[in-house]
Structure 1
């Protein structure tokens, strides 16, 4: 139980840290935390009843004065221990690649620009209904491209539409492939110390490609000033599967 508490506390700290960055916890994370709290209360109740059960034992603890009570207590202990082991192992599934700890990071949104509703509707329909793989929004600086792009990003925080990841990356005028790779990796949980120290641009691209090709994802690239080679960055070409 002590080891399970430690894993619960580690995960809770991680959740709090990411929530401070504006991300939202997945429902299954909260379900796992609730289950740990429940089993912890049950374990505490069993420990409190331990002395009473010990007093029922006789003949050097080989026999009980109340066989039914001792049997029930022993069975409760056994089932509780089994549940503890299940929770200890399932925490790795909860935070695995298949089920990331956090959902879409909702971005601050300025007041919508008058007349954007039609364009937003077209963009959203292309993304979720028409099966469009790549879409570009273009226009002069200050016309509201980022504001428009932010709205479908935020809509995904309420409507996941079967996507595993919704990723936002600001490219900027000082375009660097590695910067895009690092930001994508951070958003999908790959950007650890090993990632930063051991992978060059090509290796990072291969790593991202092999991960993302198995996932359904939306990638928003904001503030583009030149063409981005998605293949070099490791972003798979859009298919029905991804």
Structure 2
């Protein structure tokens, strides 16, 4: 089994190099890795039971129950060894291939109300400015902000504007970083690698231009802990989010704020974070 472990480790390192280049592991590779893990667990179980079986053979070798148990154990060992040999015989010329073309997820929209198109126009232009890395929207209800964010997302369906990935994640009240990581990984073709997910995401995203939409955050989201490169240092990448709290915008470090009253009795602020705060420098 040591050989399979070595093969698995070599293949995992090879996959990491390929995935860091933006390639996607082929399905056959993932199936093989899953089988190795299953067989490894089975081998460990058999090894743990080895001493018990040896004692049965030495002390009670003529007991029918012990003979039957030993026979079953021996058969399990034999079948497991055959599976190990089969795994060893497999060869992989290609571990990873070009990922499928990324399609922007279409978001269902609420009916557009008066003034919303103007707000969308302003938010879109602001987000697309070179100096803007993060855009956040907050309001009491949250529905209108999600609608606006959805409209921005859907604009990328017509023209991705040079972005490699446009990713939508719903966060919800109870922040679960692992769930966010898994969803991002799924949408950029990195699903299937639970180990070091944070570093896998970071190494992949830093080599791509992306837009990440985080809908309905209730507290500060540490992008670095997820594995998302800081948009201020990532050339052209963007992060946009909605929240119900102005305090969350502040905790996310957003400086510039816009105030708008276009959505009936609801105050909505759009805040953005520039990679270089020119006002502070002055």
TM-score range, shorter chain: 0.5 to 0.7
- Residue in structure 2 matched with residue 114 of structure 1 by the alignment: 114
Residue 120 of structure 1 contacts residue 151 of structure 1 at CA under 8 Å; is this kept in 2? yes
- Residue in structure 2 matched with residue 189 of structure 1 by the alignment: 189
Q: CA deviation at 1:143?
A: 5.0
Higher strand proportion (structure 1 or 2):
2
Alpha-carbon spacing, 1:177–1:131, altered in 2? closer, same or farther (3 Å): same
Alpha-carbon spacing, 1:127–1:142, altered in 2? closer, same or farther (3 Å): closer
Which SS does the other structure have where 1:144 is aligned?
helix
Q: CA deviation at 1:206?
A: 0.8
Residue 170 of structure 1 contacts residue 222 of structure 1 at CA under 8 Å; is this kept in 2? yes
1:226 aligns with 2:212: no
Gaps of 5+ in 2: 1-92, 238-282
Q: CA deviation at 1:148?
A: 0.5
**Could you tell me which of 197, 219, 222 is aligned with 1:204?**
197
Residue 128 of structure 1 contacts residue 161 of structure 1 at CA under 8 Å; is this kept in 2? no
Q: CA deviation at 1:112?
A: 1.6
Q: How does 1:38-187 map to 2 (within 5 A)?
A: 96-97=98-99, 100-142=100-142, 144-187=144-187
Residue 113 of structure 1 contacts residue 144 of structure 1 at CA under 8 Å; is this kept in 2? no
Higher helix proportion (structure 1 or 2):
1
Distance 2:225 2:151 in 1: 28
Distance 1:216 1:235 in 2: 12
Which SS does the other structure have where 1:157 is aligned?
helix
Q: Which has the higher contact order (CA 8 A, sep 6+)?
A: 2
Residue 133 of structure 2 contacts residue 236 of structure 2 at CA under 8 Å; is this kept in 1? no
Distance 1:139 1:108 in 2: 20
Distance 1:101 1:240 in 2: 21
Residue 102 of structure 2 contacts residue 165 of structure 2 at CA under 8 Å; is this kept in 1? no
Count of residue pairs brought into register by the alignment? 142
Alpha-carbon spacing, 1:221–1:155, altered in 2? closer, same or farther (3 Å): same
Give the TM-score, by structure 1 length: 0.55
Residue 109 of structure 1 contacts residue 151 of structure 1 at CA under 8 Å; is this kept in 2? yes
After superposition, what is the alpha-carbon deviation per residue over 1:160-203, rounded to whole angstroms, capped at 9, x for unaligned? 100000000000002101011000000000012xx24xx2xxx2
1:240 aligns with 2:235: yes
Residue 131 of structure 1 contacts residue 240 of structure 1 at CA under 8 Å; is this kept in 2? no
Q: CA deviation at 1:204?
A: 1.2
